[in-house]
Amino acid sequence: MYRLSELESRYKEIERELLNPDAASDKNRYAELTREYTNIKKIINEDNKLKDIEGELKEYREMFDSTDDDEALCKDINREIERLQQERDSTEKKILLSLVPEDPLSGKNIIMEIRAGTGGDEAALFAADLFRMYSRYCERKSWKVEHISSNEIGVGGFKEIIFSISGNEVYRKMKFEKGVHRVQRIPVTESGGRIHTSAVTVAVLPEAEETDIQISQEDLRIDVYRSTGHGGQSVNTTDSAVRITHLPTGVVVTCQDEKSQHKNKERALKVLRARLFEIAEREKKEAEAKERKSQVGSGDRSERIRTYNFPQNRITDHRIGLTLYKLDLILDGEIDELVEALVESDAENRMSSIGMNKIRNDGV
């Protein structure tokens, strides 16, 4: 993590590297430098803004000290001082949050798994609601959603649906969606009008590249069989479905939605790689004793993270105590307010854990 005093020299160093004619030859390195350059520029701009605000504050305080008799002018000056203090605090917080080290997985794409839990058909219907919510949010963010596999039920719900999301900062925004999502509503089939409570579990797995996790073919058992799902005659009459078992861990992945056995195998391996990567990351954190227990929780799927109450059009995120009365809009994909509140809460907790609460007095 760079301190503010070091950022300007780092900024100039990157600028020189980007101007080098050979810089673009390594596309990954060039993209990484460009991102860092843009981020540092934002922090430097905010710091310059903070210095301007502090300069204005000093002038207004001096003006206030030299104004004795004009009560109206004193009130006006006080209002400006209060406004500038609020702006200073807001800018200072923005800089501090920008200086908090990012999760190294933040830039990863993800594989998301939504499964119906307790509640029967009602849970399966809500799993479909969540899939639509995330799909619409992805549309707003210009992220790409790719279906991997699903297990549908006749009423229009999903016992399970697995899909990938790719785009800018997907894992950073979506990692806090993992956990138990509880829904409270009156089912269509409920004649007595009683509120039914059911639950859906969501898993968010950072997508792993082949370089992230090595899988030996000797560790895999691959079975092919005839699909029993939807997809037309060719799916149901050929051995296109694939089940992959990772023998060392016992992790099993199945995929049968594609007509091609090759495509099903490719997608199943993609999911397997992500699950093994998550296991490896979790074990690494536990071994290093750096598993962070914060206000937003560990993200374990056993945690009830959120309640969706349809009768009151209310959604509550239990980790940060945020309640919003616009469930209809949220289910239509407008989840930015929830996502940003969780991202900010996480950053504030990490900032607090490393003792960052001031900009200059602590030598930041």
What percent of the chain shows pLDDT beyond 70?
86
Q: What is the dihedral of CA 253, 256, 259, 263, to 10 degrees?
A: -10
Q: Minimum mean pLDDT among 90-99, 140-149, 319-328: which range?
A: 90-99
Edge-first strand order for the sheet with 314-317 is 144-152, 158-166, 110-116, 196-206, 179-185, 304-309, 314-317, 322-324
Q: What is the pLDDT of residues 10-68, one digit of tens each?
A: 889 999 999 988 888 888 788 888 888 888 898 899 889 999 999 999 999 988 888 77
- Taking the model in full, what pTM does it have? 0.70
Give the tens place of pLDDT for each residue, 235-284: 455 678 899 999 999 999 988 877 888 889 988 998 998 999 888 888 87
Min mean pLDDT across 154-163, 256-265, 316-325, 351-360 is at 351-360
Lowest mean pLDDT among 99-103, 179-183, 273-277, 322-326: 99-103
Q: Check residues 159 and 356 and name the one with the higher pLDDT.
A: 159
Tell me, which fold does domain 217-287 have in CATH?
A: Double Stranded RNA Binding Domain (3.30.160)
The Cα–Cα gap between 340 and 172 comes to: 10
Phi-psi region of 193 (alpha: psi -120 to 50; beta: other; left: phi over 0): left
What's the confidence (pLDDT) of residue 357?
56
Nearest Cα neighbor of 130 from 191, 178, 86 is 178
The single residue listed with the structure tokens 């596999």 is: 149
Tell me phi and psi for residue 12, to 5 degrees.
-70, -35
Question: Class of 110-211+294-352 per CATH?
Answer: alpha beta
Reported as a single tens digit per residue, the pLDDT across 128-157 is 999 999 999 999 999 999 999 899 988 889
